[in-house]
Amino acid sequence: MFIKFNGFDFVEGGVCAAKGFTASGIHSGIRKNKEKADLALISCEVPCNAGAIYTQNKVKGAPLTVTKANLSNGRAQAVICNSGNANTCNANGEEIARQMCEIAGNALGIPAEDVVVCSTGVIGLPMPIEPIRDHIEPLKSSLSVDGSIRAAQAIMTTDTFPKEIAISFILDGKVCHIGGIAKGSGMIHPNMATMLCFLTTDVAIEPEWLQRAIKKVADITFNMVSVDGDTSTNDMVSILASGLAGNSIINHEGSAYDLFVNALYAVMMNLSRELARDGEGATKLLECAVNGAPDETTAKKIAKSVITSSLFKSAMFGADANWGRILCAVGYTDAEFNIDRISVHLASAKGSIQVCENGAGVPVDEDKAKQILLEDEIKIIIDLGYGEGSAMAWGCDLTYDYVKINGDYRT
């Protein structure tokens, strides 16, 4: 369920909600299962300003290297992405990624350097170019303003549902849009991004300010998601801005830039929640809110520490109010703070219960706690009682199915 913010309305269309964009997704043969789409295309009718952020894993997928070079001028007009093969740790990986750009560029009549290229799937498998080359025409022909959902499906790997969102808002007297699709279910513990997320907007904004905005918002959304503590090799968030909304171009700090950042947060935060909700094998979305910390950095570290704890995640799977695991994760956080005023509440649609006060346990109604933790969305509310720092992180429970999924992921 999406969280709504005042001033921003949810609309249909995903990445095609913004003016100028179309999308498509088809099965090309990269994946053996013919029922699953594996090749996505997003295109704009005009050249766009663009920005992106990438994984900090030292082992990077070849498409990230090629995309980073292509976006060095802050411009792009299309995105091509395949699932089923990550094109990572391949001797000819960059050559294949460049060929994907050339194939998409030729089909769309744009320079290859104006294409964002991405891949996701198994690491270390040779990446065939033939399925992409042989299916680019039907992929291009199926481009549509209704194609966002098909593109979202085509980038999925172990995801159980496609993730897309779009909002509209008024900026400079013009109706503007931001839309996005994302994929991610496992191997999520990003340092700069998430698995894959493609964003589009019709807001007019210069590349420098677009890049600032996406980095700023990612730090408090996608950067605060953890499913399993593993940072992927292919993580990327990209954004294309067509400028077709007709607002005065954003090129400095001010109310217009702030509004755009807030709109971007509404999109990226909701996609982050959906990624956590769909964690591999997950049955529950976990949201950890930290308040009263000495500063925001400390709050962020504590929230991520808790949401990443395997012991705590396992307890949530079992609906066990084992609050000691929360304090344990708080305590080993790499930051300086006191815990003598810390309080912890657990909450869900079934109510709220306090389990810790001033760093010590309080009497807990275990039956009530169980009912609260049996819900599919759990909030962990931590207050250190010392400052103004706050942060929020998202994750999921750790279940038997996570091991089953990853025990034979490659085979």
Per-residue pLDDT of 2-37, as tens digits, reads 999 999 999 999 999 999 999 999 999 999 888 899
Annotated active-site residue in 194, 231, 233, 308 = 194
Mean pLDDT (the chain) is: 92
Give the C-alpha separation, 210 to 245, whole Å: 15
| Contacts of residue 1, Cβ cutoff 8 Å, sequence gap at least 6 | 377
Q: Exposed, middle or buried by CB within 10 Å (0-12, 13-18, 19+), for 130?
A: exposed
pLDDT in tens, 97-114: 999 999 999 999 999 999
pLDDT of the residue at 352: 98
Look at residues 29, 24, 131 and name the one whose alpha carbon lies nearest to residue 80: 24
Look at residues 73, 20, 82 and name the one whose alpha carbon lies nearest to residue 50: 73
Superfamily name with CATH number, domain 285-407: ArgJ beta chain, C-terminal domain (3.10.20.340)
Given a cut of 50, is residue 384 above it in pLDDT?
A: yes
Which of the residue ranges 83-92, 142-151, 385-394 would you say has the lowest mean pLDDT?
83-92
Which residue matches tokens 């897309």?
164
Given a cut of 90, is residue 306 above it in pLDDT?
A: yes
Which of the residue ranges 103-107, 193-197, 334-338 would you say has the lowest mean pLDDT?
193-197
pLDDT of the residue at 279: 76
Given a cut of 80, is residue 192 above it in pLDDT?
A: no
pLDDT in tens, 243-279: 999 999 999 999 999 999 999 999 999 999 998 888 7
pLDDT of the residue at 114: 98
pLDDT of the residue at 135: 98
pLDDT of the residue at 28: 97
pLDDT of the residue at 368: 97
- Report pTM: 0.90
Q: Give catalytic status of residue 194 as yes or no.
A: yes
pLDDT interval class at 190 (50, 70, 90): low
Given a cut of 50, is residue 193 above it in pLDDT?
A: no
Given a cut of 50, is residue 323 above it in pLDDT?
A: yes
Given a cut of 70, is residue 229 above it in pLDDT?
A: no
Percent of the chain with pLDDT strictly greater than 90: 80
Hey, how many other C-beta atoms are within 10 angstroms of the C-beta on 220?
A: 17
Which is more confident, 234 or 335? 335
Superfamily name with CATH number, domain 9-276: L-amino peptidase D-ALA esterase/amidase (3.60.70.12)
Given a cut of 60, is residue 188 above it in pLDDT?
A: no
Burial 20-37 (b: 16+ CB within 10 A, else e): bbbbbbbbbbbbeeeeeb
pLDDT of the residue at 209: 98
Domain parsing of the chain, residue ranges: 9-276, 285-407
pLDDT interval class at 379 (50, 70, 90): very high
